[in-house]
Every structure is written in C-alpha cells, then in structure tokens.
Amino acid sequence: MAPPRSTFSSVHGATSTYNRSPTSDPIIAPSIGKRNALRQKLLLTASILVLLATTIFLIVKLVHLRIYNPMDDYQILNPFPILYDQSNTPQSDPNALAVVSTLYSNNYAMSTAVLAHSVRSVNSTARLILLYIDGQVSEEALCISRASGWELLAVPRIAPPKGGKGVYYRFVDQYTKLNLWGLDKHGIDRLVYLDADTLVRRNFDELFNLPFSFAAVPDVYGPGNPQGFRLGFNAGVMAIRTSSSVLRDMKNNIETARYPIGQAEQAFLNLYYGVKAVRLPYIYNALISIKKRNRVLWEELKSHISVIHYTERKPFMLEAQPGERILTPEETETAIDIAQRDFERWAEEFGWWRSAYHSMMAKHGAEVKRCTL
C-alpha cells in the first residue's frame, strides 16, 4: 500500500502534498516548534539573569561583610602611656631583661626546649623564664624545659571570661599569658615574649631597647581568608614593659570589654592596646601563613627572619597528639618527616626546626633523656 499523503496550505493559499512514512513521528506544525524554541530561549535567559543577580548579591554581601576590628569598636580601656618614661630611670640591670615563654601542656615540652636552645644560639644573654600552671604540667615536661636552660616560674591560671563559653578549647588557658605584665615583681623590667611554637633564627636584642610600652607584629591570614594582612597584631611575639598596675587593670576589664571572646587573649590585647601598640616588622614574628599567602614576600623576608612562628602546622607534633603526651626522639623525627611530606610548601622551614632540634639534642640530649626515664 502506498504511504498516506498529507496536505497543508502554503502561505500563498496553494495546497501542497508530501509523502509521510508510516513509522515517522507525528507532524508538528512549524509555528508550534518555533514557539517552543522561543520559550526555551526565554527560560534560559531568565535563568542566566537570576544566576547573575544572585552572584552580584553574594559578592556585594561578601565585600561588605563586617570583619571585627578593635579600631572600629574602640573602647577607652588603657590609661597608661605609649612611651616609656626613662628620664628618671637608671639603666636596667642585664638581669632585668628576659625572654619569656609559656608551657600549659606536656606536648609542647620539646618545642620549648628547642626554643630555649635557639635563643642561646643567637647569643642573647637575657634571662630565660618559662611560665607554667602548677599542677597542669608533668614533672617530666618541666624537667625537659629545665634541662634546656629555662628558669621555671609557676603562675596562677587566669580564667577566660564568661566561664570560657565560646572560647576555642585550645585557647582556654591563654589568658594566663597576661601574667607577663606582673613579672616586675620578679625583677624583670623588659621582656620579649615568644610562643612555644616559635623558633629564633637571628638575635633580636634591639627589642629590649624600644622606648615603647608594648610592641607586636601584625597578624597574617592565609589565602582564602578575606582578613589577609591585618592591622591587628599576633600575640605570639611581644615586646613588653612589665607593670603589675597594667596587669590589675587588664583583669578589671576582661569581663566587661567588648571583643571576639573566641580569639581569647589576642583579641583582648588588640582591644586593650588599640592605638597604643607599636607594629613591628614581620621578621620578628614570621608566621608561616605569609609564605602560603605571598611567596614573593616570604622570599624577601627569609634571610632576615629573627623569629619564625609555626602557626598552621607544628613540625614537632603528630596529628591528634594528646596534650599530656611527650614524643620520643624517634617519634619527633617521624613527626617532622610527616610534616615535610604533607606540607611540602614549608619543607624548608620545617627543616630549620629539625636542625635546631638536632643541635639541642647534641648539647642537652643526655639530660633530656634522663627526664624521660
């Protein structure tokens, strides 16, 4: 049988015919097809416009996202002068100068030992004083610290405000750091504070001669964090004029001052010193996040670094290492190997810590090992 014939009228009114296969799809009038195509184009255009508008909204929201800044929320707390009045003060006794660190858990014992050795390796003659919370650190950890050259000083724990609610668990003891200002009662006039995860590369004795009451290095966040290079300072390295009066005033303001409580003592100090803090060059607290954010800048700084700060990764610590655990020498080597393997961008800087560790063990290893027996 011949295939059926279909007819339709042309635009000129004439009748046309054509053959249609029995297996072909039903005929769709050209006008319907055009309408469907137009509808699809309109839907696609509308979708693109909605996506574009949403993207613009999110970008604007991100740009205007309020990042806390103590200068924007300035509060008059600190009544003490910026410049230290030396006009009527005799030259400080060398014993009144100190490099100070803190030890709140056992797993930092070996890093404090390496830190002490690195300070002595750059010929700093200041006293080495390690603050610790009595009953919170083991005798083994204290023995290791003492063997490497620290003078040990037990200090009272300063509790975080509001019972510690909202404070990251690793920072709950950090307000104890404020005891630094009370070291005038122990004969210390000027000090340089170093976090236990720092390493000294060059002498920094010039910091003891600053005419200012307080100085620190601006903080730096890695790529992907909009805070980037901050105006606020990092509290891992600080040059301080001690004063028990300042300590009392700080304690009186901790609970009532407005600041991001989750950032603990660093946020409080940024607020307390506000416009009175002197910003030091990055070489005095070279956060490894600088290299992650701007390698060119890091290469410029590298040969001048006095203190490197292992913020994002600790080469001396294993992942999920309990706070009460001290690594063996073999485990410490393994920790450095893993850090260099997993974080290749910092392999060279982790190598600096390994070299300092080997040097410390060569000099104090026998005493350190006796502490662990």
The separation between the first and the last C-alpha atoms of the chain, rounded to the nearest angstrom, is: 104
Question: In which band, very low, low, confident or very high, does the pLDDT at 16 lie, cut at 50, 70 and 90?
Answer: very low
DSSP H/E element including 74: none
Distance CA 210, CA 97 (A): 12
pLDDT tens per residue across span 125-164: 899 999 999 999 999 999 999 999 999 999 999 998 887 7
Query: Do the Cβ atoms of 259 and 271 come closer than 8 Å?
Result: yes
Mean pLDDT of 234-260: 93
Q: Give the residue extent of every domain in the chain.
A: 94-312
The answer, yes or no, to whether residue 224 has pLDDT greater than 80, is no
What per-residue confidence (pLDDT) applies to 43?
84
The answer, yes or no, to whether residue 12 has pLDDT greater than 60, is no
The answer, yes or no, to whether residue 268 has pLDDT greater than 60, is yes
Q: Which pTM value belongs to this model?
A: 0.77
Q: Which residues of 302-325 are buried (b: 16+ CB within 10 A; e: fewer)?
A: beebbbbbbbebbbbbbeebeeee
Query: Do the Cβ atoms of 271 and 249 come closer than 8 Å?
Result: no
Least trusted range by pLDDT, from 49-63, 81-95, 246-260, 327-341: 81-95
Going through the chain in order, the beta strands assigned E by DSSP cover 5-9, 15-19, 97-103, 127-133, 151-155, 190-194, 198-200, 214-220, 229-241, 278-279, 286-287, 307-309
- C-alpha closest to that of 199 among 269, 133, 121: 121
What per-residue confidence (pLDDT) applies to 13?
45
Least trusted range by pLDDT, from 3-7, 84-88, 215-219: 3-7
Mean pLDDT of 56-77: 60
The answer, yes or no, to whether residue 240 has pLDDT greater than 80, is yes
Mean pLDDT of 244-264: 89
| Average pLDDT taken over every residue of the chain | 85
Sheet of 198-200: strands edge to edge?
198-200, 307-309, 286-287
Least trusted range by pLDDT, from 35-39, 240-244, 265-269: 35-39
Which tokens hold the place of 50?
């909605």
Q: Which residues have a Cβ under 8 Å from the Cβ of 234 and sit 6 or more positions away?
A: 216, 217, 218, 219, 220, 266, 285, 287, 309, 311
Half-sphere exposure (Cβ direction) of 322: Cα atoms closer than 13 Å: 4
Query: Do the Cβ atoms of 179 and 155 come closer than 8 Å?
Result: yes
In three state form, how does the secondary structure of 177-203 look?
HHHHHHHHHHCCCEEEEECCCEEECCC
- In sequence order, the β-bridge partners of residue 239 are 192, 215
Which tokens hold the place of 104?
């709140």
DSSP H/E element including 56: helix 30-63
The answer, yes or no, to whether residue 74 has pLDDT greater than 60, is no
| Percent with pLDDT over 90 in the chain | 57
- C-alpha closest to that of 353 among 318, 316, 321, 327: 316
What per-residue confidence (pLDDT) applies to 84?
61
What per-residue confidence (pLDDT) applies to 210?
93
What per-residue confidence (pLDDT) applies to 36?
78
pLDDT tens per residue across span 314-368: 999 998 777 788 999 999 999 999 999 999 999 999 999 999 999 999 999 999 9
The answer, yes or no, to whether residue 307 has pLDDT greater than 70, is yes
Mean pLDDT of 105-123: 96
| β pairing state of 214-220 and 5-9 | unpaired
Regarding the domain delimited by 94-312, which CATH topology (the fold level of the hierarchy) does it fall under? Spore Coat Polysaccharide Biosynthesis Protein SpsA; Chain A (3.90.550)
The answer, yes or no, to whether residue 4 has pLDDT greater than 80, is no
Question: In which band, very low, low, confident or very high, does the pLDDT at 76 lie, cut at 50, 70 and 90?
Answer: low
Distance CA 333, CA 159 (A): 35
Distance CA 68, CA 226 (A): 12
What per-residue confidence (pLDDT) applies to 129?
98
5: helix, strand or coil: strand
